[in-house]
Structure 1
Amino acid sequence: MKRLAIFDFDGTIFNSVDDVFICFNKALELNDFATWDYDEFFDILGGNIDEMVSLILRDRNTPENIDLIKEEYARFYNESLKENSLPFPGVHEVLRELQNRGMLIAINSNRSNDSIEYFAERYFTDIDFAVIEGHNPAYPSKPRPCGIKKMRKKLDVSKEECIYIGDSSTDIQTAQNAGIECIIVKWGYGNRDDWESEYIMGAVETPSEILKYF
């Protein structure tokens, strides 16, 4: 019997790429680095902030440049209203239904805890997230399974009692590395290869389809 639903955040619960894209391009332009086209930007999503900035800077990804763009991006992002970042339609209702069924709900993401908690407090005040495991520089980020191992230990949940819900190959690799089952959503930032992965239980078109796995 499943007890724990572990959700990825960006691309699964939240459509957040527009604000991230805008703020990264502002940071790049301000410092005379090449900016990105919107469609290209999707190819670098999924890693932690250091990995993303390294890819964003292409062949100019020196440690100094990475630190510079991280700082500039953080300034722009923290000052922004984040008005383009919203939950995907129907996800909130699924979280509420899982909670009503007595399921534990957790988030495992390469976004920082502070950022995830900001959005959770703004949009999901009625959802009691059992654990939020965001990016922590002290631990390896996804697809390493450190976050999942920590939450399983804290909640005393077995591998067989978990389902990981994500949108991309990073999430599939994370679930596989943790030895737990995985569902992929089609409304996020993944692609057909992710939807057709042999590892996953299935790929869902709408949030309500998630409920059939519980």
Structure 2
Amino acid sequence: MSIKGVIFDLDGTLLDTLDDITVNANGVLASFGFCSRSKDEYRYLAGQGVYSLLASASGCEDQKLVSSMVDEFKKKYEKNDGLSKPFEGIFDVLKLLDKKAVKKCVLSNKPDALTKLCIQKYFEEYRFDVVVGQQDGVPIKPDAVSALNIADELGLKRSEIIMVGDSKNDILTAKNGGFYSIGVTWGFRDRAELLDNGADAIADSPLELAQLLLIKP
């Protein structure tokens, strides 16, 4: 059966956001009196949503204080200097999907407004059918509820959709929802994490991803 839809992760899959995350998170930490973290540390701190990112980076257990940091992070990120950039070759993948009339979606643990902002800013030439980020009251990945909601919105079966991402959250979301998964190694995490969590296939470049999307069993 040929695929009819692809659900992409955003950070580390479509968009290289690690510099933006590092600069903005460290700016927030500094303004609240906490020590900064390295770019490599953020590679593993990111992925569970902004609240988890800042709570882990700061070591702070005061929920109100962390929530204030989250609000500040969102404000900074909305005004960022555009340090993020689409990964080289990703546009070719999107063009291929457009040519094949495959529906394109994004599911991220980044706040919903920031997820939509990134898509509008960096992918303005491409139409995504559904773009969903973290929303209050809705479980984030690896819970599969949002992925299943996307499938319902598209009117597609799970067997007609592939999930693509760079971390265990994406692979486990696919597994929890009954989707085929492709892990990509150009993002924040490594091949071992993807394989250890049950990725159905691995792509080491956007070109390989395009090939896998065309031959999915």
TM-score calculated relative to the size of structure 2: 0.92
* CA shift in 2, pair 1:126/1:37, >3 Å: closer
- Does the Cα contact within 8 Å between 1:195 and 1:202 map onto a contact in 2? no
The structural deviation recorded for 1:177 is: 0.9
Write the deviation string for residues 88-142 of structure 1: whole angstroms up to 9, x where unpaired: 0000111111111111111111112322222222332332211112111121111
Q: Which residue of 2 aligns with 1:96?
A: 95
Q: Which residue of 2 aligns with 1:108?
A: 107
* CA shift in 2, pair 1:76/1:128, >3 Å: closer
Q: Which residue of 1 aligns with 2:56?
A: 55
* CA shift in 2, pair 1:72/1:114, >3 Å: closer
The structural deviation recorded for 1:143 is: 0.8
What aligned pairs does 1:58-77 form with structure 2 within 5 A after superposition? Answer: 58=59, 60-77=60-77
Q: How many residues align structurally?
A: 212
Could you tell which deviates more after superposition, 195-204 or 133-142?
A: 195-204
SS in 2 for 1:105: strand
Q: Which residue of 2 aligns with 1:26?
A: 27
Q: Aligned partners of 2:80 and 2:93: how far apart in 1?
A: 28
* CA shift in 2, pair 1:208/1:109, >3 Å: same
SS in 2 for 1:12: coil
The structural deviation recorded for 1:36 is: 0.9
Q: CA RMSD in A?
A: 1.5
* CA shift in 2, pair 1:63/1:172, >3 Å: same
- Does the Cα contact within 8 Å between 2:164 and 2:182 map onto a contact in 1? yes
Q: Which residue of 2 aligns with 1:128?
A: 127
Counterpart residue identity of residue 11, structure 1: G
* CA shift in 2, pair 1:78/1:121, >3 Å: closer
Q: Structure 2: give runs of 5+ residues left out of the alignment.
A: none
Q: Aligned partners of 1:203 and 1:210: how far apart in 2?
A: 8
Write the deviation string for residues 38-84 of structure 1: whole angstroms up to 9, x where unpaired: 212212111112222221221x2211221121122223222222x21
Could you tell which deviates more after superposition, 160-169 or 190-199?
A: 190-199
SS in 1 for 2:152: helix
Percentage of matched positions with identical amino acids:
25
SS in 2 for 1:56: helix
What aligned pairs does 1:131-150 form with structure 2 within 5 A after superposition? Answer: 131-150=130-149
Q: Aligned partners of 2:80 and 2:96: how far apart in 1?
A: 32
Q: Structure 1: give runs of 5+ residues left out of the alignment.
A: none
Q: Which residue of 2 aligns with 1:3?
A: 4
TM-score calculated relative to the size of structure 1: 0.93
